[in-house]
């Protein structure tokens, strides 16, 4: 598996793949407020992997998404990565679980860029997702790589969003060495985090 594809699958945790009856098109979509991240991390990879020209759209004021219209790409996401909608039922794909350390790290980077957060006030790095198994896989993998994490807990009862987090400068350094995340806002906040004592 190409690392770029693993990253795109991880980032699809804040995205969707479906058949749009109105346009009669199969669509794969990545959502994000940061146009910079969508252009540099998603659009370039999507073209390199799928050889399709993705579109950047502002679907609401200051809310953006990258869209690929392709049944072929949809089938790859659906069959090879077991995509299920709604997302809370989408488990970690077997093809990711059975991949090399580098591929898993790239998948986690995409996941973190889409659904992770860095809180400089609370001094923590977090992962949030409705699917508990998806978080368990990442948490267990981080723990096996000597990165200590919290337990998974319900962060929002209404949406049933689960979460775990990482604290301590030692763990932050190990995390950034292992997981090469790219989101410009998170990279910036990570720098601030390391400056704090």
Along the 197 residues of the chain, how does pLDDT read in single tens digits?
A: 999 999 999 999 999 999 989 888 999 999 999 999 999 999 999 999 999 999 999 999 989 999 999 999 999 999 999 999 888 899 999 999 999 999 999 999 999 999 999 999 999 999 999 999 999 999 999 999 999 999 999 998 898 899 999 999 999 999 999 999 999 999 999 999 988 85
Same domain for 114 and 73, yes or no, is no
Q: What are the counts of helices (DSSP H) followed by strands (DSSP E) for the chain?
A: 9, 8
Number of domains the chain is built from: 2
Predicted TM-score (pTM) of the model is: 0.95
Nearest Cα to 115, choosing from 164, 76, 60, 69?
164
Same domain for 38 and 114, yes or no, is no
**What local confidence, expressed as pLDDT, does residue 81 receive?**
97
Same domain for 105 and 190, yes or no, is yes
Residue 96, domain member (yes or no): no
**What local confidence, expressed as pLDDT, does residue 197 receive?**
56
Give yes or no for a contact between 112 and 41, defined as CB atoms under 8 angstroms apart.
no
Same domain for 107 and 83, yes or no, is no
**What local confidence, expressed as pLDDT, does residue 85 receive?**
85
Q: How far, CA to CA in Å, does 42 sit from each of 25, 28, 31, 142?
A: 20, 12, 10, 24
Of 87, 116, 147, which marks where a domain is finished? 87
CA 168 to chain centre: 23
Q: Which domain holds residue 142?
A: 101-195
Question: Which helix (H) or strand (E) element contains residue 184?
Answer: helix 184-195
**What local confidence, expressed as pLDDT, does residue 195 receive?**
87
Contacts of 53 (CB under 8 A, 6+ apart): 47
Count how many residues are written for the chain: 197
Distance between CA atoms of residues 29 and 38, nearest Å:
11
Same domain for 63 and 142, yes or no, is no
Domain with residue 80: its CATH number is 3.10.28.10
Same domain for 184 and 114, yes or no, is yes
Q: With H, G, I as helix, E, B as strand and everything else as coil, classify residue 162.
A: strand
């Amino acid at each position: 598996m190409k690392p770029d594809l693993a990253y795109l699958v991880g980032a699809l945790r804040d995205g969707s793949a479906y058949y749009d009856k109105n346009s009669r098109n199969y669509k794969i979509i990545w959502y994000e407020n940061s146009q910079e991240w969508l252009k540099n991390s998603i659009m370039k990879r999507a073209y390199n992997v799928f050889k399709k020209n993705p579109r950047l759209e502002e679907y609401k004021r200051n809310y953006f998404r990258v869209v690929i219209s392709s049944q072929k790409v949809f089938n790859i996401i659906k069959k090879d990565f077991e995509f299920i909608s709604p997302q809370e039922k989408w488990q970690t794909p077997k093809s990711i679980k059975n991949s090399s350390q580098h591929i898993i790290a790239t998948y986690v980077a995409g996941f973190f860029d889409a659904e992770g957060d860095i809180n400089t006030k609370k001094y923590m790095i977090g992962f949030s997702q409705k699917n508990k198994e998806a978080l368990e896989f990442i948490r267990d993998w981080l723990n096996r790589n000597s990165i200590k994490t919290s337990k998974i807990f319900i962060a929002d009862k209404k949406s049933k969003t689960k979460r775990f987090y990482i604290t301590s400068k030692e763990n932050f350094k190990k995390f950034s060495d292992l997981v090469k995340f790219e989101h410009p806002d998170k990279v910036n906040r990570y720098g601030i985090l390391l400056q704090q004592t």
